[in-house]
Chains A and B, each alone.
Chain A
Amino acid sequence: MERVQIFSLIVSLGLLFGVVELVRRRRLRESYSALWIFTSLSIIFFVVFPQLLDRLGRLVGVSYTPFVFFLLAFLFLTLITLQFSMFLSNLSECNKALTQEVALLKQRLEEVEKQAEKA
């Protein structure tokens, strides 16, 4: 096995175990670990079957195999940041709803307190 393959294997195994450990410690939710686990498994897959990496390169029209690797890495980063953007959009929406709810509850509470004072 070539040195770059060994290096990739070590990094991807480290990533895989690291991510599972983060999920175990509840620092990372299962849903967001999916893409990371899929990526580290893909790296391991291509290290074990480098011919398939060549095949993929020819399929997309790239003759320099290491470049295919970078292409995949770029694709992965794009997907991850896209997932983050979606997550943040959802979070913003929820945050807005909660903030508004708090304001409305505060007002109702003030009203109830005023009524209680009168009684």
Chain B
Amino acid sequence: MSDTLIIIPAHDEDGKVGELVGRIKSLGLDADVAVVDDGSKDGTARAARDAGATVLSLPFNIGYGGALQTGFRYALSKGYSYAVQLDADGQHEPAYIPKLIEPVKAGLADVAMGSRFLGAGEYTSTFMRGLGIKVFGRIASSIIGRKVTDPTTGFQAMDREVIRFYASDSYPVDFPDADVLIMLHRAGLKSVEVPVVMYPRAEGKSMHSGLKPLYYVFKMFLSILVTLLRKNTFRRGG
């Protein structure tokens, strides 16, 4: 067993997850791969297993954050020292995993966040998404005291302390996001951004559609407010 676990939450991605796991394996990284099958109705679990990943199958769909957290709880129980999270739809370029882990293993930060806006690649989002990213990026930046260019990134590498934090009940399982950055800061966990390449979403369902953007904005403001009001109970090494 390696000291690093790559966690990939997946829901109905049988067309993409096998290829992704294959690509990661071909990079020859010193890391195990776990795919969390979030109640998929298709062959996601089989495709992931065939490609050589450990599969955690949830009995029904609980959403991106919950599936991701399952991976963190698994990593914690198996004693992994480091974890990497990335999306199953191929948006995140796995070749950047070593670049993400680097500052964490060097002890420069507890968690490294892959930012698509730091020049590694060309990425353009829709107007609404871009606006949301800018607004919440600014809010997060001013609160945690460092520049945040990509608050909604699902491409992260982290050490055991952050794995423990993400596995705990304080982790917001709706949309892990800018409020998580503030929570990390309050818990005394250091985060940095690393330039990575991300590809635009090809086809398939987006998490952000319909009435959801409205709820997202409400939830973010409320979550940030209560995070600032709460007392931090996370202790390093606890």
Contacts and interface: CB of A to CB of B under 8 A. Distances in A.
Given A20-B226, A23-B226, A24-B229, A30 B219 contact: yes
Interface string B55-72: 000011000000000000
B59 A30 contact: no
Interface residues of B, number: 14
Contacts of A101: 59
B60 A30 contact: no
B223 A24 contact: no
B219 A31 contact: yes
Nearest to B169: A26
A20 B225 contact: yes
Interface string A22-39: 011010001101100100
15 contacts: A20-B225, A23-B222, A24-B226, A24-B229, A30-B172, A30-B219, A30-B223, A31-B174, A34-B218, A34-B219, A37-B218, A94-B60, A97-B59, A100-B59, A101-B59
A contact face: mostly helix, strand, loop, or mixed: helix
B contact face: mostly helix, strand, loop, or mixed: helix
A20 B215 CA distance: 16
Given A20-B222, A30-B219, A97-B59, 17 more contacts: A20-B225, A20-B226, A23-B222, A24-B226, A24-B230, A26-B169, A30-B172, A30-B222, A30-B223, A31-B174, A31-B219, A37-B218, A93-B60, A94-B60, A97-B60, A98-B59, A101-B59
10 tightest Cβ-Cβ pairs between the two chains A and B: A24-B226, A101-B59, A97-B59, A97-B60, A30-B219, A24-B229, A23-B226, A30-B222, A94-B60, A24-B230
Contacts of A94: 59-60
A3 to B, nearest CB: 32
Contacts of B230: 24
Contacts of A37: 218, 222
Contacts of A24: 226, 229-230
A101 B56 CA distance: 14
B201 to A, nearest CB: 24
A38 to B, nearest CB: 8
A26 B223 CA distance: 11
A25 to B, nearest CB: 8
Interface in B193-238: 215, 218-219, 222-223, 225-226, 229-230
A25 B174 CA distance: 17
Contacts of B174: 30-31
Interface in A66-119: 93-94, 97-98, 100-101
Nearest to B225: A20
Interface string B159-202: 00000000001001010000000000000000000000000000
B32 to A, nearest CB: 23
Nearest to B61: A94
Interface string A19-63: 010011010001101100100000000000000000000000000
Given A24-B229, A24-B230, A26-B169, A33 B222 contact: yes
